[in-house]
Amino acid sequence: MLKRFKQMKKEHLALIMCALAYGNAHAKLPAVQNPNDSGGLLDQIFEWIKAGSNIIGIGICVIAFIAVAWYGVAVYSDVQKGKKTWAELGMCILVGAVLIVIAIWLLNQANEAASSR
């Protein structure tokens, strides 16, 4: 009985500590701001669309990075098996890096074009 009471005391103490820690962490969060508070409804909608398209573009860049990394690992595996050469692996990495740089550059160009509205 005493052992169970001590265990319950530890659990309650842990629960109280978590509740206190949550209150402190929650108090430090900043307020959510709208992307643009200066215009009317149409400007607000345009800002939300621009923000959403930026997120989609970043997602496409992330998918491109993962695809290049995945293919690089596959080519490295083929090099280890003797099916491909080290030069093919180097070319794969070089072309993949160029493609990722181009995708990021295009994302920045689209962001600047949308900002200059």
The pLDDT profile of the chain, 117 residues, written as one tens digit per residue, is 556 656 666 676 777 766 666 655 555 666 766 655 566 777 778 888 888 888 888 898 899 899 999 999 999 999 999 999 999 999 999 999 999 999 889 888 888 877 766
Per-residue burial over 63-87, b if 16 or more Cβ lie within 10 Å, else e, is ebbeebeeeeeebeeebeeeebeee
CA atoms of 60 and 57, how far apart (whole Å)? 5
CA atoms of 89 and 84, how far apart (whole Å)? 8
Structure tokens at 27: 């108090």
Same domain assignment for residues 14 and 40: no
Provide the 10 A C-beta neighbour count for residue 112: 9
Give me the domain span that covers residue 102: 36-115
pTM: 0.58
Number of domains in the chain: 2
Same domain assignment for residues 108 and 68: yes
Same domain assignment for residues 109 and 52: yes
Same domain assignment for residues 58 and 83: yes
